[in-house]
Amino acid sequence: MQNSSSTDDASFIYAFNIIGEMFIAVLSIIGNALVLYLISRDKQLQTVTNYFIASLAAADLLVNMIVILKEGCMDVGPYSSFFLYDTNL
């Protein structure tokens, strides 16, 4: 049987990882959306180099919205390792 403090520590570390992952994902979405918005609105920023940067930002934005947020939601869902963790070992 495990000590309750070690289980609490594991839960805290797991929750901290989920919060950190979601924080980074949200910041990435905001940053990439801002890059796309600024390049589309300002004529001086519409250069060949910035179009390349915009395409990278669009790809990163899609990856963040589809993959990273889905994985973060699965971390707290009913099939996550957090809920399947057996504390009676």
Residue 58 pLDDT: 97
Question: How far, in Å, CA of 68 to CA of 61, rounded?
Answer: 10
Q: Write out the DSSP string of the chain.
A: ---HHHHHHHHHHHHHHHHHHHHHHHHHHHHHHHHHHHHHH-GGG-SHHHHHHHHHHHHHHHHIIIIIHHHHHHHSSTTSHHHH--TT-
Answer yes or no: is pLDDT of 89 > 50: no
Residue 15 pLDDT: 77
Query: Tell me: the pLDDT tens digits for 33-68?
Result: 999 999 999 999 999 999 999 999 999 999 988 887
Query: Tell me: the pLDDT tens digits for 67-88?
Result: 877 776 676 665 565 555 555 5
